[in-house]
Structure 1
Amino acid sequence: MWGTITLIIIILVIALVLLNMVKIITQPDRGVVITLGKYNKTLTPGFHLIAPFISHVIRVSTAQTPVDLDEQIVITKDNAEISVKISLKYHVTNIEDFVFKNEDSVRSMTQDTRASLRGIIGNKELNEVLNGTEEINQALFSGLSDVTAGYGLNVDRVNIDSVNPSKDIQDSMNKLLKATRERDAAIATAEGKSKSITLENEANNQALLATNTAQNTALVNSATAKATAIHTEADAQAYRVAKLDAALKGSSQNYFISQNIAAFKELAKSDANTVIMPNSTIDSLGTIPAIAKAFRSADHTTNQD
């Protein structure tokens, strides 16, 4: 019976020893072996054996780790109170420094981040903070890279997630924004009306110009047509006169005498007692024998009386 108990004890001791000796480090962790309270070595991922009971392993992850910081109240240069929330990502670069040089490297990094944020925002006015978060990110990242290098870790990225002014400031900003929008709307309305009036005046001017142009064109066309008609009529009249003149030049003297006789016949039918004629006409009538004889008879009768 005592032999069985002893065997069980030996097996348990061996199992306990093996549990303390065998260490498996998974990716991407590293294992820091502490032997009798002193740094011994760093274990890479894989299977390892260490001295049992006098050694233990501290596991450290080398993967990138995100950290969300709580909201922080910060005062700007112009004494505006704002609430800032930031997040960052870091990874361990030096296992020994991370474990031995600082009791809590992540906490120290967080404290330095908050302190740097207060210093950066404290030198900027509210509008610069609200409109310059990217610039603040860069300044914060640059400052943390130098400080956290001694903690055995490196800050990969810093993000300002939100910047919220206090309620009083937010109300004032909302009022200012509303007033600005109303002013812009009034300006836009005035500019719209001004443009509308300008366009209407331009349209009216163009219409008036088009009307005047059309009227002038119509007057010019009408005057041109009248002038052309007068010119055509004058040409026709000149043509008739020329034809008549040519015809008269080709006529004999008897034609004119015949015309005079016809005229006298018409005068004889009228009620007129006196006819005034030029001497040349009377002389031409005298060339007709019958009329000349009539004139001589009339003169003879007059002389007898």
Structure 2
Amino acid sequence: MEQLDIQTILTFGFALAVVITIFKSARVVPQRSNFVIERLGKYSRTLDSGFHILIPFIDKVAYIQTLKEEVIDVNRQTCVTRDNIQVGIDGILYLQVIDPMKASYGINDYRYAAAQLAQTTMRSVIGQTDLDKTFEERAKINEEVVRALDEAAGPWGVKVLRYEIADIELPISIKDALEQQMRAERERRAAIAKSEGERQAMINVSEGQKQEVINLSEADKQRQINEAEGRAREIELIAVATAEGLRKIAEAINQPGGQEAVSLRVAEQYVKEFGNLAKANNTMIVPAELANIGGAVAGLTEILKSVQK
């Protein structure tokens, strides 16, 4: 009975040792992770994701490194700009392990080292920048910080992907001054916009007046042209009618009895005009040959004949 108990204890102990050995020797590495293996205290190899067998009590997992992108919060720090203004800046750092062996043996804690280096680099970059530029050139500042960190983190097996400024805290006096400056800038822009609007309005009014004057002058010019064309047409028509009348009179004179009709017409007009002259003036003008009206008519008839020839 006593021997059976000893045998049972030995069997149980052996089984427990086998389980411990299997647990020590079998390792499953998760996706996007690496196990750094040491053999008898010395770096042996790096295990990628999957199932692996280790030598019990000789190989051990010294470090477990993740290959995922890590986000590190960089604590707020006080920086002095080139124009001697103190500002509080905090940021966020994004990095990734690309060499697990260097990340394990190259530095004690790469996360803490990267955060501290980001703070010192940020102080250096801000010290070379004016306060106004810290707001306008955030992207440039972030690039300079990333470039300096990535160069320093190369021996650590770490890749610095990007750095973002989360917040910039200004002193109260500087905030008030910036608010006054922005208010003045807005008022200046409003005044410029108003003056530009008034200027454009005046230009539009003057252009309208100019166009109105041009239109009126064009209308007056066209009116004068039309009137001149109308008068010219009138003169032309009168001349044509007069010529036609004279032509018909000339034809009528050559007809039988035409000469006598002309003489009679001339005598009538002579007497009529002489009567009108007597009505218009108090003074009576009597021609020397008033008694010989026939002679005057004969003389006018001779003139008409000569014109006709």
TM-score normalized with structure 2 length: 0.76
Q: How does 1:30-109 map to 2 (within 5 A)?
A: 30-53=34-57, 55-57=59-61, 58-109=63-114
Which residue in 2 is equivalent to 1:196?
A: 201
Counterpart amino acid of residue 47 in structure 1: F
For residues 239 and 108 of structure 1, do their structure 2 counterparts lie closer, same or farther at Cα, with a shift above 3 Å needed? same
1:22 aligns with 2:26: yes
Give the paired residue count: 276
Alpha-carbon distance, 1:164 to partner: 4.2
Shift in Å, 1:6: 3.3
CA distance in 1, matches of 2:129, 2:153: 24
Residue of structure 1 in register with 2:180 after alignment: 175
Could you tell me which of 217, 220, 225 is aligned with 2:222?
Answer: 217
The answer as to 2:157 corresponding to 1:143 is no
Map Cα deviations across residues 135-187 of structure 1 (whole Å, 9 max, x no partner): 22222222112211122222123333444433332332222112111111111
Evaluate the alpha carbon distance shift between residue 34 and residue 279 of structure 1 in structure 2; reply closer, same or farther with a 3 A threshold.
Answer: closer
Give the letter aligned to residue 140 of structure 1: V
Give the corresponding residue for 1:115.
Answer: 120
Report the alpha carbon displacement of residue 55 of structure 1 after superposing the two structures with TM: 4.5
SS at match of 2:148: helix
Q: Which runs of 5+ in 1 are unaligned?
A: 285-305
Distance 1:7 1:237, change over 3 A: same
Corresponding position of 1:293? none
In the alignment, structure 1 residue 235 sits paired with structure 2 residue 235: no
Q: Please report how far the alpha carbon of residue 201 of structure 1 lies from its aligned counterpart in structure 2 after TM superposition.
A: 1.7
Question: How many angstroms apart in 2 are the aligned matches of 1:193 and 1:252?
Answer: 87
Counterpart pick for 2:295 among 261, 268, 281 = 281
Q: Percent identity?
A: 23
Q: How does 1:234-253 map to 2 (within 5 A)?
A: 234-251=239-256
The C-alpha deviation readout for 1:52-96, integer Å capped at 9, x for no partner, is 345531212233323232333321111222333322322223333
Q: Compared with structure 1, are the counterparts of its residues 80 and 282 closer, same or farther at alpha carbon in structure 2 (3 Å cutoff)?
A: closer
Please tell me whether Structure 1 or Structure 2 has the larger radius of gyration of its CA atoms: 1
C-alpha change, 1:247 and 1:99, in structure 2 (3 Å) is: same
- Structure 2: stretches of 5+ with no match in the other structure: 276-285, 299-309
Of 165, 190, 197, the match for 1:185:
190
Q: Name the stretch that deviates more: 65-74 or 174-183.
A: 65-74
Partner AA of 1:276 in structure 2: L
**Aligned equivalents of 2:129 and 2:251: distance in 1?**
113
Q: Is the 8 A contact 2:33 2:65 kept in 1?
A: yes
Distance (whole Å) between structure 2 residues aligned to residue 176 and residue 200 of structure 1: 36
Counterpart Cα distance in 2 of 1:39 and 1:257? 151
Distance of 2:156 and 2:19 partners within structure 1: 38
What do the CA deviations read for 1:170-219 (whole angstroms, capped 9, x no partner)? 33222211211111111111111111121112112212221232123223
The residue type paired with residue 70 of structure 1 is N
Q: SS state of the match for residue 154, structure 1? A: strand
Partner of 2:283: none
- Check conservation: 2:143, 2:162, Cα contact below 8 A: no
Aligned match for 1:6, one of 10, 25, 31:
10
Structure 1 residue 124: Cα displacement = 1.1
